[in-house]
Structure formats: C-alpha cells, structure tokens
Chain A
Amino acid sequence: MIRTITATLIALLVLAGSVAAQPRPSGLVDGLEPADPKYLSEVTRHLYRWYLDENDVLPSMKRGRFLFWVHETQQRLDENDNSRFAEITLPDIGIKVSVKKADYAIPELELEVRSDAFRITHVARIKPSAEKPADAEAVEIKYVELRDYLFKTRNQITPPDDFVLVKLRQAAGEYTYRYLVKNNLQRPDSATIHLGPVSPVANETWAYWEEGRVLYRFSSDMPIDIEDFWEHAELAVDLYSIEDQVVASLDEVAGSNAYLTRDHVGRVLFNCLVFGRRVEVTNPNPLDNPEP
C-alpha cells in the first residue's frame, strides 16, 4: 500500500480558492437511525456492491428474510466528542458492519468533523450466530422486498456531484503526478482517470488511473462529499499498483498490508469503470493546472 497524506493538496485547495463551508447532505440516509429499515437497505446495497457474492444471500433466500441485529456500542471517547457508534450484524450471512456518526472537533485544524448520517467504518466476516446479543434490536426485511430493491437499484449510483468531482479530479491528478515523479516516469500529456461513485453510507471511494494501472482509495473519518472535508481535512489516499500489488490470495504475501486480492480489485474496477466517471486530466500536475 502506498499511503500518502496530502499536505500539498491542502495548499493546492487553498490556492484553488475557498469554498463556503456548507454541508452537502447525502440525502438518502441523513438523520436515520441504524435500525431504520431504509438505512439497513442502503447498508445492504453497499454490501451488495462491494462484498456480497451469490452464495452469501442463499441463507436469507431460504429463510425468506434478511435479518439484522442492530445495537449502539459505547466507546470511551475524548472529552466533547459526541460521536455515536453502532454495529449491524447480519447473522444469517455472517457479516458485521460497524458504523459511526462523527461529531467532534479538531481544534488544531479549526475543523468540525460532523456527519449527518451513520457511515460504515468497518465490515467484518464473522461466524454466523444463532444468539442475538441481549442489547441488540432485531429487524427483519422480507427477502423478496430487499432483493427487488437491490435489483432495481443495482445500476443506480450516487455520482460525485460537480463539487466533489472537481476535488476528486484534482486529487487524482496530483497523485498521478507525484507517482510519475517518484518513479522517474515520463509525464504524459494527459491521464485517463475513472472516478468511482460515492456512497451515502461510507466515507470512501476509489479511482483508477488507466494508463498507470494504479488504484487510489480516498477515505476519511468525515464524509468526503462535504465541503469542509475538502477545505481543511487531511485526506489519506492509498495507492495500489495493479502491476505490483495484486495477488490471487493474500496467503502468498502473509504479513503484508501492501496487497489486494484479484477479487477485490475486480470489484473496484467494476465500480470505477462501469459506474464511475471517466475524466481526462490534460496535465497531471494540478499545480500547473488547478482547475479542470
């Protein structure tokens, strides 16, 4: 994994001009509690897009329902941190989803990290369990109902809006440039970048640089579709070279965080190439060409 912090991105964004710090509501799930069936449907749609295979849904199909156990978890937080955390377990499938609704300040950056919705922070495969935790709320959605929703919305995406598109494009351009410089590669006249869709329930997205065969993962503790994030936040970007950092099984490279499986990359490419936005960055150095 090539992890980079965009100190220069922040400077770049300042150079590119300030933007009013208005929240950009993600709409679909704003204000919903984790046990709300509408919220759970969106979480399932995220899993459907990024994690689930056909075999995963068979138990739910047999039982005629998707079952969720939802409970809010208590974390020992810093003073004045009002963030909320919850866990959503799909016991039939064996998946646990951790979600967070961030609400805290970073005085050093004069930044409020606040989310209008619970966002996924972690997805884990677990052993299917028969026992509902005592403090969890059980929610059922009929299999047919959710299946139809997933099918109907399978190609529906939340594309980055114009604002986020500009920011993603700038960031991808900068990282492309930095990658070229770092690897002593010749700077091409343009770079083709496929920007993945953004999710209403996750603070991350991916991009694919076609000529360089490099994947970028943008992720943060705050929604990437709000302006504050792009104005001030430290943005962590992970880069993965498809040439060097993809294996069939991570058992080949046990002990390293630097690789992705081919299966995972397949999903990323599908989402970037099929659902994403293709952009041409004519000069992959945003310092030369900050605006699209």
Chain B
Amino acid sequence: MPARWPCLALLLTLLLGARAHAQAAVTIDPLQSRTGYVATLLINEVPFPGERRWVSESDTKNAMLAILWVLHGRIELVPDGYRQVDLATVTTDDVREVISAGGVHGQCEGFYKEADRFVVVDRVQERRDYLAGIANKGEPGRFARIMNYAIDLASAYDDGGIEGADRFAKLRTIDGTPVTGRAYSWMTDEDIYHPGGNYVRIPDEHQGGMGANRFFTLRELP
C-alpha cells in the first residue's frame, strides 16, 4: 500500500499540472464589474506588439498606469478651482461612470452606458477577446503580461489603491504656464486631437507621450 502513495502523488501532480496548464493565462472579469470595465478600458487604449506605435512592454504598461491615474484624478483629485463635472462631465464616485461619460464618442471612445448598464461597442469586445486569445495561446508571453498588468491594476484600484506612482503629480509648469500637476485627460497622440478648454498638453520632455497616447494636465486657475 505505501508504495502507491508516490504514484498517487505523481498522478495528483500531473492532474493539477494539466489543470493549471489548461487554465487560461488571462481571465478578465465580466464587463459589468468595476474591475472588468476598467481592465477592458486599459487594454483597449494601448498598443500591443505589432500594432501601430508599439514601442515596448514598459511603454504600454506606463500608459495604462497613467490612464488609471487620470480616472482616479477625475474622481478624487479635482484641483482647486475646478469641479468634478468640469473634468468628467459627471458627478460620481463610480469609476465606470467616469469612463462611460459623454456617451459612445466621449472621452473613452466606445465605452458608454445603455439602460443603466455599462457597455462597450462590438469592436472593443472583439479586440479584447482577440488579444486574450493570443495571450492564452501557448506559453504566456508579452500579451499575457500586459493584459494581466491591466487586470491587476483594475483589481488593486477596486481594493482602494493604485500600484504605481503618478509620474505627473509634481508637474507645476509647462513652457512657463502654471499647471495643476497630474494628468486629467489623454487622447490618441496625434496633433489634431486636443481636449480643449484649460487642458495643457504635456510635452515629450515631461514624458507626456506614452503608449500612443498624449496626456494633458490642467492650467492652474488664479
């Protein structure tokens, strides 16, 4: 009988190993959850290997982190002289409301609210599923690491924190213009796009361009 224990242990190891191997490297929470909605946004907004404007894993991850800080800033870190509604077009403490504000063509293109449900357009869902399909094929690689980074960021945020510093927190002047610090908007990094109003483009020397996006801070109000 004792001789069977090693065999059983081996069998269990093989079974557990096979199960672990069969599990997906990347699993995103349902879209309706805060973590699923935030992770989907972070994944959707940045380039992956092979896509236009891809630079590196760290560049893409840095952009994700900066985007999360923008969302957080619009809820918790509204600068003096501004109201939340000025920045987010809504008054809320739910990050999903901030993401979906402005409708399908709002700040977060393709993310919107429909009949009190937080939804995305088909192409966002297709992109997420497609990238997850690549990430879950074979040994986990860069696609899996990037997606899991987004998932971890979203989970940590849901638990009340952000894993990583806000690189724009201490920004005080841009080309002589006093600014509030922190980023409060991001857009595809093309000159033609700008959030308008009091937003100030954060230039390259302050690392304002990351992950094919351009980040914007706010003019300090007198």
Contacts and interface: CB of A to CB of B under 8 A. Distances in A.
Given A2-B123, A5-B123, A221 B54 contact: yes
Contact of A106 (B50, B107, B121, B193): B50
A81 B105 contact: no
Nearest to B175: A127
B46 interface: no
A264 B195 CA distance: 18
Nearest to A261: B192
Given A5-B130, A256-B107, A77 B50 contact: no
Interface in B8-36: none
B159 interface: no
B143 A108 contact: yes
B106 to A, nearest CB: 7
A109 B135 CA distance: 10
A221 B110 CA distance: 23
B106 A77 contact: no
Main SS at interface, chain A: mixed
B167 interface: no
For chain B, the bracket of interface size reads 35 or more
Contacts of B107: 255-256
Contacts of A257: 109, 187-188, 193
Interface in B169-205: 185, 187-197
Nearest to A239: B123
Interface in A221-236: 221-222, 233-234, 236
A75 interface: yes
A219 B52 contact: yes
B51 A203 contact: no
Contacts of B102: 255-256
B53 A121 contact: yes
B169 to A, nearest CB: 21
26 contacts: A4-B126, A5-B123, A7-B130, A7-B133, A76-B58, A106-B50, A106-B142, A107-B138, A108-B49, A108-B141, A113-B49, A121-B52, A122-B53, A219-B52, A220-B51, A220-B52, A221-B47, A234-B48, A234-B130, A236-B52, A250-B192, A250-B193, A254-B197, A255-B102, A256-B106, A260-B192
Interface of B: 47-59, 102, 105-107, 109-110, 121-123, 126-127, 129-130, 133-135, 137-138, 141-143, 185, 187-197
Q: Would you list the 9 A-B pairs with minimal beta carbon distance, nearest first?
A: A254-B196, A258-B105, A219-B52, A255-B195, A7-B130, A257-B188, A221-B54, A106-B49, A4-B123
